[in-house]
């Protein structure tokens, strides 16, 4: 569950972040050819959640996360952070066979303030690059209730049949305008989830990745956004029946993965990653048994399958994957 990286990100990254990017590029050499062979678009500054069974790319799973200095001073989501869900294109009209929109909205209506999401609050910004433990220092990521900020069915016309990264980024900027988040400061606590419709997903979905998050610059400041395909289109590759959690389990397993990663690395790669370039979701993805195994959690809006998230504080600071904090 790692990201494809380009040296382009060095223009907004610190030297420490550049070292991480180079490490991931080197470690990812084995999968880069597969991307090229499949015709997958080369992604810039995007952090990929790989499909089940993919070869791990980052450093050892025991490596703790550390702060990478932020992008423009921002590395985590703080304050009253919000998720905005966008269902892009007329392809969504009467075309949601798995009921993904309803499941997703119920999940985000309940996940704020949950014990599952609370592990993000140990991470912070405003501390030195290389920091592993915030303690009382810096400004910590938050876990507020009411995290779902809005829903937009942008369905007056068709979305591109298989949108590119630049088209997804442009839709995220349009979403920021739609929701009135038109200042740079307002977009340091917001993430935009761009949902593509059934059979309308970007290239590489289901073979190289399940979803990815990134950021783009705009006149409204940096915009954090997620490419969220129609997850059940990928079947078992992206979570169907994982750990016997049901045919639709991947919807919130993948959605929760990207949500938690954006909270702790809002503008990749300025937030919290380990020495191999893994974020808090990557390090705990697709665990089927033992500590951190994917399971159902109960929220006020229903029961949802999720994966665990990495906690530096777990096991007396040794770190590990946790389902609550």
* Rounded mean pLDDT, 232-251: 98
Query: Is 1 within the bounds of a domain?
Result: no
Query: Is 249 within the bounds of a domain?
Result: yes
Domain count, the chain: 1
Confidence of residue 37 (pLDDT cuts 50, 70, 90): very low
Share of the chain above pLDDT 70, in %: 86
From CA 95, how far away is CA 98, in angstroms rounded?
9
Share of the chain above pLDDT 90, in %: 84
Q: Identify the burial level of 42 via C-beta atoms within 10 angstroms of its C-beta, where 0-12 means exposed, 13-18 middle and 19 or more buried.
A: exposed
Within 10 angstroms of residue 119's Cβ, the number of other Cβ atoms is 27
Cis peptide before 85 (omega within 30 of 0): no
Beta strands at 223-228 and 190-195: parallel, antiparallel or unpaired: parallel
pLDDT for residue 40? 77
Confidence of residue 56 (pLDDT cuts 50, 70, 90): low
Confidence of residue 38 (pLDDT cuts 50, 70, 90): very low
Q: Identify the burial level of 30 via C-beta atoms within 10 angstroms of its C-beta, where 0-12 means exposed, 13-18 middle and 19 or more buried.
A: exposed
Task: Mean pLDDT check: name the lowest of 7-11, 127-131, 173-177, 214-218.
Answer: 7-11
Query: Is 2 within the bounds of a domain?
Result: no
Looking at per-residue confidence, does 35 or 317 come out higher? Answer: 317
From CA 277, how far away is CA 286, in angstroms rounded?
18
From CA 225, how far away is CA 190, in angstroms rounded?
9
Looking at per-residue confidence, does 16 or 111 come out higher? Answer: 111
Return the sign of the alpha-carbon dihedral for residues 145, 143, 2, 55. negative
Consecutive H or E run containing 105: helix 100-110
Q: Identify the burial level of 246 via C-beta atoms within 10 angstroms of its C-beta, where 0-12 means exposed, 13-18 middle and 19 or more buried.
A: middle
* Rounded mean pLDDT, 191-200: 98
Query: Is 60 within the bounds of a domain?
Result: yes
pLDDT for residue 1? 45
- Whose tokens are 């016997």? That residue is 244
pLDDT for residue 250? 98
pLDDT for residue 55? 58
Confidence of residue 54 (pLDDT cuts 50, 70, 90): confident
DSSP 163: -
Q: Is 226 a residue whose pLDDT tops 90?
A: yes
In 3D space, the residue among 123, 62, 119, 122 whose CA is nearest the CA of residue 276 turns out to be 62
Question: Could you tell me which residues come within 8 angstroms of residue 146 by beta carbon, excluding any fewer than 6 positions away?
Answer: 80, 112
Length of the chain: 325
Task: Mean pLDDT check: name the lowest of 8-22, 217-231, 242-256.
Answer: 8-22
Task: Mean pLDDT check: name the lowest of 55-64, 103-112, 250-259, 283-292.
Answer: 55-64
pLDDT for residue 61? 61
Q: Is 140 a residue whose pLDDT tops 60?
A: yes
CA distances for 266 relative to 85, 189, 190, angstroms: 16, 8, 9
Query: Is 185 within the bounds of a domain?
Result: yes
Strand-pair partners of 154? 88
Structural domain span for residue 80:
7-322
């Amino acid at each position: 569950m790692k990201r494809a990286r380009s040296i382009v990100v060095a223009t907004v990254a610190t030297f420490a972040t550049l070292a991480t990017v180079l490490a991931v590029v080197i470690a990812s050499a084995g999968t880069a050819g597969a991307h090229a062979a499949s015709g997958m678009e080369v992604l810039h500054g995007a952090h990929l959640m790989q499909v089940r069974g993919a070869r791990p790319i980052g450093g050892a799973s025991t490596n703790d996360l550390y702060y990478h200095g932020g992008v423009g001073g921002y590395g985590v989501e703080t304050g009253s952070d919000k998720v905005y869900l966008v269902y892009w294109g007329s392809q969504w009209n009467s075309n949601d066979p798995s009921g993904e929109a309803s499941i997703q909205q119920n999940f985000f209506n309940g996940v704020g303030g949950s014990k599952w999401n609370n592990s993000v609050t140990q991470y912070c910004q405003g501390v030195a690059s290389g920091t592993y433990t915030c303690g009382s220092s810096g400004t910590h990521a938050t876990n507020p209730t009411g995290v779902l900020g809005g829903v937009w069915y942008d369905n007056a016309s068709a979305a591109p049949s298989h949108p590119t990264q630049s088209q997804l980024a442009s839709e995220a900027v349009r979403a920021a305008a739609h929701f009135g988040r038109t200042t740079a400061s307002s977009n340091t606590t917001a993430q935009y989830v761009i949902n593509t419709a059934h059979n309308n997903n970007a290239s590489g979905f289901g073979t190289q990745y399940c979803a990815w998050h990134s950021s783009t610059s705009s006149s409204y400041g940096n915009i954090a956004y997620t490419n969220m395909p129609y997850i059940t289109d990928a079947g078992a590759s992206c979570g169907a029946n994982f750990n016997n959690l049901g045919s639709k389990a991947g919807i919130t397993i993948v959605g929760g993965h990207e949500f938690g990663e954006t909270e702790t690395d809002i503008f990749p790669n300025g937030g919290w990653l380990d020495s191999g370039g893994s974020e808090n979701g990557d390090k705990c993805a697709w665990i089927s048994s033992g500590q951190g195994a994917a399971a159902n959690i109960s929220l006020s809006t229903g029961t949802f399958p999720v994966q665990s998230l990495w906690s530096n504080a777990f096991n007396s600071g040794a770190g590990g994957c946790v389902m609550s904090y």
